[in-house]
Amino acid sequence: MIPESKRKQIIALVKREVVPAMGCTEPVAVSLCVAKAVETLGRQPETIDVQLSANMLKNAMGVGIPGTGMVGLPIAIALGALVGKSEYMLEVLRDVTPEAVTRGKEMISENRISVSLKNGDCDKLYIEVHVKSGDSNAVAIISGDHTHFVMVEKNGEVIFSDNAKSGNNSATEDVALTLHDVYDFSTTTPLEEIAFINEAAKLNSEASRLSLLGNYGHELGKTLSRPLGRGIMGESMFSHILSATSAACDARMAGAKIPVMSNSGSGNQGIAATMPVVVFGNENHNTEEEITRALMLSHLTAIYIKQSLGRLSALCGCVVASTGSSCGITYLMGGSYEQVAYSVKNMIANLAGMVCDGAKPSCALKVTSGVSTAVLSAMLAVQNKHVSSIEGLIEEDVDRSIHNMTRIGSEGMNETDRMVLEIMTNKK
């Protein structure tokens, strides 16, 4: 059993990493930074200049902004200035109204907003906002984490500065974990100490349900649940897992004003770590305790993988979250720690290298690919079938296998990341 002191650290870690978010977290983080800069300025700005890291730019270009019916950064920036409240954190756009959207469109048409790539070295997650009004100006910078302000300045005077290390792993690096730690914590911690994770099930299940009441994104969730989808996929637990997970992603990526529970700064990761476990557990008639522990296992596995992968990378986040859900499903199937480790190896062998080409409605397709692999990996794992150490990235030690995958994503795919951004920003 995990010592009490470390248990408390892990609980604090999960509570930091599994939080509500409305809209895609990259443009929302930009809105948050703008809101902080405007609050510091003390009045509405005449101009807003936003400088972003390449990964932030890539992930914020193609997603819907909640409550607007619009896509992309300009409206997210305008609304951050007009109605954003930094105290709301990743729900910064909670107070968006049709009137605010109209005013935001006017701000955009007046060419008061500029967005550019940050020059020089910076974190993969980096946002710098400059706002001006008359002779006054303010600056706010977020780095390393979607809500981690490292500097706030007004008229050249530093109001706040955080010199702590703010690298891609800033929010997760303070608790050293192994997969065995993750499993032990999730399966042995007193239930009342981890019951808070059930909020993820409530929030993301509601997002999935509400998605089916509208027409969001590519409507993958609705397509899978319609007669055509049922005719092809069947009326099965598997099809229910895919439709429930993709529906929530459809709504989120299209900009529905529906909050979801995120994981490690990503709503899609929160959805993918939650919905497969919830649907499987309910339809498999697992107990409430088993589902709670499986949810914690899923979310904490995703957090653990992100410790070495970093907040943003060229590796699609669905690989991380789906690996977590595969662990949770394996546990709900009655799997042991060894079989949970087998499911991780199966996931890495199949999905390592899936490219992140920005946040957008088609993320629902990638999430569904990851979740379908999660189920297959769990099915093999509980039969003690797994990819062996003579194959590809897999080693006998599951933690080394995880780090092989995250090295690919955080280091090996950097050139891929640059090419993806070049393609996205130079379309004809």
Cβ pair 321, 302 in contact under 8 A: yes
pLDDT in tens, 225-259: 999 999 999 999 999 999 999 999 999 888 888 88
Q: How far apart are CA 273 and CA 150, in angstroms?
A: 29
Residues 6+ apart with CB under 8 A from 2: 10, 181, 184, 185, 188, 189
- 67 versus 287: which is more confidently predicted? 287
pLDDT at site 168:
41
Distance in angstroms (rounded) separating the CA atoms of residues 273 and 288: 17
Instruction: With beta carbons less than 8 A apart as the criterion, state whether 364 and 246 touch.
Output: yes
The phi and psi torsions of 219 (rounded to 5 degrees) equal 55, 40
Per-residue pLDDT at 109 exceeds 60: yes
Task: Check residue 163 and give its pLDDT.
Answer: 67
How does residue 317 score in pLDDT terms, banded at 50, 70 and 90? Answer: confident
| Whether residue 119 has pLDDT greater than 90 | no
What mean pLDDT is predicted for residues 52-73?
A: 88
Least confident among 3-17, 265-279, 405-419:
405-419
- Taking only the tens place, the pLDDT of each residue in 366-392 is 999 999 999 999 999 999 999 999 999
Does position 169 have pLDDT exceeding 50, yes or no? no
3-state secondary structure of 299: helix
Q: Is 158 helix (H, G, I), strand (E, B) or coil?
A: strand
> Average pLDDT in the 347-367 region?
90
Q: Is the pLDDT of residue 171 over 50?
A: no
Q: Which residues of 53-89 are buried (b: 16+ CB within 10 A; e: fewer)?
A: bbbbbbbbbbbbbbbbebbbbbbbbbbbbbbbbbebb
- 166 pLDDT band, cuts 50/70/90, is very low
Looking at 13-17, 213-217, 294-298, 311-315, which range is the least confident one?
311-315
Whether the per-residue pLDDT at 310 is higher than 90: the answer is no
Q: Please write down the HEC assignment for all residues of 108-150.
A: HHCCCEEEEECCCCCCCCEEEEEEEECCEEEEEEEECCCCCEE
pTM of this structure: 0.89
Q: What's the chain's average pLDDT?
A: 93
At 167, the pLDDT band (50, 70, 90 cuts) reads very low
Q: Which residues contact 109 (CB under 8 A, 6 or more apart)?
A: none
Q: Do 174 and 53 meet the contact criterion of CB atoms below 8 Å apart?
A: no
Q: Which one is predicted more confidently, 269 or 417?
A: 269
**Residue that has been written with the tokens 């500029």 in this structure:** 114
Q: How many CB atoms lie within 10 A of CB 9?
A: 16
For residue 173, what pLDDT is reported? 53
Listing DSSP states for 360-382 in one string gives: STTHHHHHHHHHHHHHHHHHHHT
Give the pLDDT band (50/70/90) at residue 312: confident
Q: What is the pLDDT of residue 425?
A: 83
CA nearest to 172, candidates 148, 193, 149:
148
Q: How confident is the model at residue 18 (pLDDT cuts 50, 70, 90)?
A: very high
Q: Is the pLDDT of residue 165 over 60?
A: no
- Among residues of the chain, what percentage have pLDDT more than 70? 97
Token reading at 49: 């200049």
